[in-house]
Chain A
């Protein structure tokens, strides 16, 4: 299989745009915190110049807030970098858990907005799959969105990875609001194109309120190539 273009008809670009927009909003928030705290330090310095005593503990505390936000911003930019590099190769060998972990981190803010906690549990580390990373990220994102809707406000999603002989299973548990029938959200042409191109399958189980995303160990026509492996960014 030759994956060179967007099989989802432009949704890939839309997905890329919405993730980067979300990242930029997060960075704006940390910049706002740093701006106000730096401004407050300036105000305290100005007051000290006119004779108001400066409390070193206050200065330390404000500096601590700024440093905390700097670390937070650094983490956000690291994730953005990892995500940006996922389009470097159309198909390559990747760590199945790392791609899941990245999408969970990127979905955290969305989860917070919806009042839903995302609880990842690695389970299996170091399982490699040969796949189309960007397409897999889109599919995982679609599953996360679907699962958050099904979990509902105040819900908790348990997210795990299992290794099986023919591939991996991403499990999304805690979908309390699932109806008996499969949800049309995951049956649109974009999602179907992703599943087909990845050789993947989705199973939605109303009891016990779980979604299982099955991804094969390798794509048809693509043998694992150590030279093509993508390590952690």
Chain B
């Protein structure tokens, strides 16, 4: 199943190259250099994974992560960081990041993590549907 990914990073040259490489590997990729635009995109489209740069102008990476998870808790966010310390990783996980990767990222590693993100999201969405069905059955008394 085609993975749908949103890349968020302030370096356009990085986004263009990574997006093209991911598309060549069969993924559907959207990109943006603006965290605010990313928050708008997730309202309009569904993504299997968001690859999010940790440090960007306009909005701090952790603040973006918080906002993304508040609006869409099922979203799987993979953080890209210049320095992956254990402390930062723990902080990011506590806020709901699925994983974090140190730049420059190996594409094969990133692809594996995106596949995992898609699987995790599918499980969460199925659970949500199941819960919805249960509620309907209860309401209708069937």
| Interface residues, chain A, with chain B CB atoms under 8 Å away | 21, 24-25, 28-29, 31-37, 39-40, 43, 47, 62, 65, 68-69, 112-115
**CB contact list, B97-115 vs A, under 8 A:** 102-105, 107
B17 and A39 form a contact (CB under 8 A): yes
B126 at the interface (CB under 8 A from A): no
What 0/1 pattern do residues 41 to 59 of B give for CB contact below 8 A with A?
0000000000000011110
Which residue, B11, B17, B82, has most C-beta atoms of chain A within 10 A? B17
A40 partner, pick from B17, B56, B57, B105, beta carbons under 8 A:
B17
A32 and B105 form a contact (CB under 8 A): yes
What 0/1 pattern do residues 80 to 122 of B give for CB contact below 8 A with A?
1011000000000000000000111101000000000000000
B17 partner, pick from A31, A36, A112, beta carbons under 8 A:
A36
Task: List 23 A–B pairs whose Cβ atoms lie within 8 Å, in order of A's numbering.
Answer: A24-B82, A25-B55, A28-B83, A28-B102, A28-B103, A31-B104, A32-B11, A32-B14, A33-B17, A35-B104, A35-B105, A36-B14, A36-B21, A36-B107, A39-B17, A39-B107, A40-B17, A40-B20, A43-B24, A65-B13, A113-B55, A113-B56, A115-B58
Using a Cβ–Cβ cut-off of 8 Å, how many residues does chain B contribute to the interface with A?
20
Chain A hits for B39, CB < 8 A = none
Cα–Cα, bound, A39→B19 (Å): 12
A112 and B57 form a contact (CB under 8 A): yes
Chain B hits for A115, CB < 8 A = 57-58
B27 at the interface (CB under 8 A from A): no
User: Inter-chain contact count A-B, CB under 8 Å?
Assistant: 59
What 0/1 pattern do residues 24 to 68 of B give for CB contact below 8 A with A?
100000000000000000000000000000011110000000000
Cα–Cα, bound, A68→B13 (Å): 10
Cα–Cα, bound, A34→B43 (Å): 32
User: In whole Å, how far is B81's beta carbon from the nearest beta carbon of chain A?
Assistant: 8
User: In whole Å, how far is A66's beta carbon from the nearest beta carbon of chain B?
Assistant: 9
User: In whole Å, how far is A76's beta carbon from the nearest beta carbon of chain B?
Assistant: 13
SS of A interface (majority):
helix
B11 partner, pick from A33, A39, A113, A114, beta carbons under 8 A:
A33
Chain B hits for A65, CB < 8 A = 13, 17
B82 partner, pick from A25, A33, A34, A43, beta carbons under 8 A:
A25
Closest residue of A by beta carbon distance from B17:
A36
Chain A hits for B17, CB < 8 A = 33, 36-37, 39-40, 62, 65
User: In whole Å, how far is B113's beta carbon from the nearest beta carbon of chain A?
Assistant: 16
Cα–Cα, bound, A31→B11 (Å): 11
Closest residue of B by beta carbon distance from A41:
B17
User: In whole Å, how far is A33's beta carbon from the nearest beta carbon of chain B?
Assistant: 5
A113 and B57 form a contact (CB under 8 A): yes
Cα–Cα, bound, A47→B107 (Å): 17
For the complex of A and B, 5 pairs with smallest distance between CB atoms: A36-B17, A35-B104, A28-B82, A25-B82, A32-B104
Chain A hits for B20, CB < 8 A = 40
Cα–Cα, bound, A163→B21 (Å): 54
Closest residue of A by beta carbon distance from B19:
A36
User: In whole Å, how far is A98's beta carbon from the nearest beta carbon of chain B?
Assistant: 27
